[in-house]
Amino acid sequence: MPVLGGIADDFTGATDLATNLVARGLRTVVTLGVPAREDVPADVDAVVIAVKTRTAEVAEAVTTARAALRTLLDLGCERIYDKYCSTFDSTAQGNIGPVMDALLADLDTPGTVVVPAFPATGRTVYQGRLFVGSDLLDESSMRHHPLTPMTESRVRLLLEPQTRHAVGEVFHQTVRRGPDALRAALDAEFADGGPLVVVDAIDDADLRVIAEATRDLPLITGGSGLALGLGTATSADAPVERAELIPVVGGHRAVLAGSASAATRAQVAHARNRLPWWKLDLEALRTDLDAEVAAVVEWARARWAEDAARPVLVYAVDSLADVEPPRADGGEAASVLVERALGRCAARFAEHGMGGLVVAGGETSGTVLTALEVTRLRLGASLSPGVSWAAGTTRAGAVVNLALKSGNFGDEDIFTSSWERLA
């Protein structure tokens, strides 16, 4: 029976969190949407529910998060992990703050921590300010994010407009004094009426301190990095190597990249020199999306006929020049067209024997999983911080291997090297 339940605000965020839980020896399953009780395997230590709420309307996000919480409590989960992006992707209206408010109320808990830091991927918080590598968040590429432009780096100032609660801060010098000092500082903040407390973390040692100091809190919130501070699985029959075991599926292989992030663009550039590739044509998609998808599928089948084991790459963006601004005429956004096309490609590829798929981009991953009718993922071996292979089970009971990565995550060669871990 699971003891830890996670609620993640997008699909790659869910696998990101689950990857780190597996690294701590927790047998972990991700469900796509709020599951029925019978759809959750009994032999897991953690359940992460993936919901597409990052850019949803606030009321919808809150309602969905509350439904996920009820299900996790019904499954027997003793602690809840509210997972959002390590770059705090949100707007002045939400959805991070409103979801925190709802979970605090439903769990009737006096307070929780706010820990977006994920040092292994360069996301750190120092003196309350969020860094991406050596840049403050508002000086990083996230300042120009098309959906959630991040123009402030102090997490408290990002969160305050979104929540009805006071937001406190605990800085690094307190964290470095250890769990007891941090716990005392948090208790003081909660007693003073500040139930949301931003906590600094610049390395994994800080995450371990935070995890120990908060082990009695029914709710913790943060990016997926905080999971690396959690204790290892307590059950003797769930070592890390068993937690990572997933079935490996044969068949053709593909990479679908819908993200326009700097990391994904570099990964595409690396893979273009090593894999057969097809760049989606936006005008062709607008003219006849089905015809463009059919052309991609026939091209992929021809490449697989030449080499059945060689992955094919289908992507949308080489450079920021390919990123289309919002349409003044109200027409369908380029990002939506690309996601629809890649989702249909995935479904058609599966019909033609695809068994393994790497997907780049949170929204793209959600569309692809929906198109494949995947209902749950069993997480396996890590490929890089926040990214791992998974075995996805469809409504029909078929299994497909999937690696879902946030646009900003993954090593430069992930589209080509990840297959070596599927031996």
- Of the candidates 187, 214, 242, which is a domain's last residue? 242
At 364, which CATH number?
3.40.980.20
Is the pLDDT at 236 greater than 70? The verdict is no
219 and 344 share one domain: no
237 and 280 share one domain: no
State residue 328's pLDDT score: 57
Q: What is the mean pLDDT of residues 74-99?
A: 95
State residue 10's pLDDT score: 87
- Of the candidates 186, 213, 242, which is a domain's last residue? 242
Is the pLDDT at 182 greater than 50? The verdict is yes
102 and 214 share one domain: yes
Residue 247 lies in a domain: no
State residue 317's pLDDT score: 92
SS (H, E, C) the chain: CCCEEEEECCHHHHHHHHHHHHHCCCCEEEEECCCCHHHCCCCCCEEEEECCCCCCCHHHHHHHHHHHHHHHHHCCCCEEEEECCCCCCCCCCCCHHHHHHHHHHHHCCCCEEEECCEHHHCEEEECCEEEECCEEHHHCHHHHCCCCCCCCCEHHHHHHHHCCCCEEEECHHHHCCCHHHHHHHHHHHHHCCCCEEEECECCHHHHHHHHHHCCCCCEEEECHHHHHHCCCCCCCCCCHHHHCCCCCCCCEEEEEECCCCHHHHHHHHHHHCCCCEEECCHHHHHHHHHHHHHHHHHHHHHHHHHCCCCCEEEECCCCHHHCCCCCCCCCCCHHHHHHHHHHHHHHHHHHCCEEEEEEECHHHHHHHHHHHCEEEEEEEEEEECCEEEEEEEECCCCEEEEEEECCCCCCCCHHHHHHHHHC
Residue 31 lies in a domain: yes
237 and 294 share one domain: no
256 and 237 share one domain: no
292 and 188 share one domain: no
State residue 41's pLDDT score: 86
364 and 390 share one domain: yes
State residue 243's pLDDT score: 67
Residue 190 lies in a domain: yes
The share of the chain scoring above pLDDT 90, in percent, equals 75
165 and 236 share one domain: yes
State residue 321's pLDDT score: 78
Considering 233-242, 258-267, 303-312, 380-389, the range whose residues carry the highest mean pLDDT is: 303-312
pLDDT tens profile 247-295: 999 999 999 999 988 899 999 999 999 999 999 999 999 999 999 999 9
pLDDT band for position 173 (50/70/90)? very high
343 and 388 share one domain: yes
**Mean pLDDT for the chain?**
92
- Of the candidates 195, 214, 242, which is a domain's last residue? 242
Residue 389 lies in a domain: yes
Is the pLDDT at 176 greater than 60? The verdict is yes
Is the pLDDT at 75 greater than 80? The verdict is yes
How many independent structural domains does the chain possess? 2
305 and 372 share one domain: yes
Segments forming the whole domain that contains residue 22: 4-242
259 and 174 share one domain: no
Residue 338 lies in a domain: yes
At 31, which CATH number?
3.40.50.10840
The share of the chain scoring above pLDDT 70, in percent, equals 95
pLDDT band for position 239 (50/70/90)? low
pLDDT tens profile 209-228: 999 999 999 999 999 999 99
203 and 276 share one domain: no
The whole-model pTM stands at 0.83
State residue 396's pLDDT score: 92
pLDDT band for position 235 (50/70/90)? very low
pLDDT tens profile 105-129: 999 999 999 999 999 999 999 999 9
